[in-house]
Structure 1
Amino acid sequence: MTGTRPFSARWTRLAVAVATAATVVLGAAAETTAATRTTTAAPTAASSAYYTPAQAKAKLRAAGITWRSSGRCEDKNRNGCTSFQGIRRTTVDGVVALRRASRCAIVITGAAEIPPHKTAGTYTHGKGYKVDVALNPCVNRYIPQHARKIGSATWAAGSVEYLRESNHWDIKYKGSGSGSTTPADRAWPTLRTGSRGHAVTTAQQLLRIGADGRYGPATAQAVKVFQRKHRLAADGVLGPATWQRLAPTLRAGAHGDSVKALQAQLRRHGARIATDGRYGNATTTAVRAFQRGRHLTADGITGPATWRRLLTTR
């Protein structure tokens, strides 16, 4: 007579088999869910408003920008660290643009970490909108020359604000990146012997010499004289440093040849104003219209950012 296994033994083996199968199924489901969460939490750089820390570092390093922290750490929630966790793409891209236009050494001393920065408000370090940049003579000179002063130690250019503190520049990038202006959004045109065009004409008007739109020996000599007068390298090449001295900030009430040069540029861009050398209501209105069309602060004042757009926009 063949023996029969007790019912309890058969039930135990069946239960173990079912439990094992369930574990395998549930484990696979858990792995699938985890993978889904990982994919969702890490969007591609093209679709995200943020860079990963690795992406931010690569972008900054490629531009020759360095960073440091007193604590030699990168923890977003630890005081003394410099963290790129949650840094916005437009913030990183803005710093890179500043570096390229100014050619200054840029050292980041604060980024998206929370302490010791303020947490209240929209445009904070912790939310990725701000960076701290160490002071140095080049940066200290460049920002005030290319932005509009709005406070005792604050400058602005479009949607970017620069606050000079005791040992660093606190830079706030509020724009979305789609047309917001930074001091670096347009470079001054570099003119030299052989150059031609409207920018040469404007330079000649500002130099108060014959304006024929041709950069010949007479223009090169006038540039050298101007450069020597302002203690610049007298090479006869009209580059950013010379433009910054040559193109003055103009506002309502100004008059003279520089205003005529401005009015001629505005007319080239469609403004119906006289080139009478007087910065009155008509010129102010024309400047504001031009600024609005180029996503600049429409304050009616012709500063470096407006000059650069006038000279480089067709």
Structure 2
Amino acid sequence: MSTRLTVMTGCATAFLALMAGPAQAWTHDRKTPSAPLHQQEAGSLLHAAGVRWTSSGHCTRRRNPHCTSFEGLRPSTLDGVLRLREASRCGLVISGGTERGHAHGPYSHGSGHKLDILPSRCLNHFVRRHYHRVHRRGDGAALYRTADRNLFARERSHWDITFV
């Protein structure tokens, strides 16, 4: 089978899985549903769901802080962003993933728990209307918590979202 046909078949399979619901999109045919995702796998599923991303370095390498990488993204984080897209009906643009350059910790970008998403009128309104404002973070970012304990921090240039 040609490489092009293999890619097209994989994209079609991912698209059909997404139509069945975001939670099943990445677990349906994965050998280990809780294993961290690879760049191509996460990128294909995000693309099929209409979630875009941007990178100041126009790259996806995890070791480069100017890239936007999904290598090592947790399946629950992917599920969280797909559910956010579906619930908010907003166009989402990811500006930060698992690449170097973020703070360390057990619930960090590097551990696959966090994504940075560019703000928009739609997303700002959705978060403020549907999630509970808890307090401000030490850096002054307003914090909002979802019913399932995800945490949205409104930083100056983006939403820093922790998916638990």
Per the shorter chain, which TM-score range? 0.7 to 0.9
Does the Cα contact within 8 Å between 1:106 and 1:134 map onto a contact in 2? yes
3-state SS, counterpart of residue 112 of structure 1? coil
- Residue 60 of structure 2 is aligned to residue 74 of structure 1: yes
* Helix, strand or coil at the partner of 1:75: coil
1:54 counterpart (40, 49, 67): 40
Alpha-carbon distance in 2 for matches of 1:45, 1:78: 27
More helix, by proportion: 1
Once residues 149 and 63 of structure 2 are traced to their aligned partners in structure 1, the CA distance between those partners, rounded to angstroms, is 27
> 5+ residue gaps in structure 2?
1-28, 137-141
Deviations 1:282-301 (A, max 9, x none): xxxxxxxxxxxxxxxxxxxx
1:148 equivalent in alignment to 2:132: yes
1:165 aligned partner: 155
Offset from partner CA, 1:11-51 (integer Å, 9 cap, x none): xxxxxxxxxxxxxxxxxxxxxxxxxxxxxxxxx72414222
Which of 68, 78, 82 is the matching residue for 1:96? 82
Higher relative contact order (CA 8 A, sep 6+): 2
2:103 partner letter? K
Deviation of 1:159 (Å): 2.0
Is 2:77 aligned against 1:87? no
Q: Give the Cα–Cα distance (whole angstroms) in 2 for the partners of residues 66 and 103 of structure 1.
A: 14
Q: What is the aligned length? A: 129
Q: Which has the larger radius of gyration?
A: 1
- Matched residue SS, 1:45: coil
Structure 1: runs of 5 or more not aligned: 1-43, 175-314
Confirm or deny: 8 A CA contact 1:73 1:80 kept in the other structure: yes
Q: Displaced runs of 4+ in structure 1, greater than 2 A? A: none
Preserved contact between residue 45 and residue 51 of structure 1 (Cα < 8 Å): no
Task: Confirm or deny that 1:109 pairs with 2:99.
Answer: no
Higher strand content, 1 or 2: 2
- Residues in 2 aligned to 1:145 and 1:78: alpha-carbon distance in whole angstroms: 35
| Amino acid paired to 2:150 | V
> Cα RMSD between the aligned structures?
1.2
2:94 alignment partner, SS class: strand
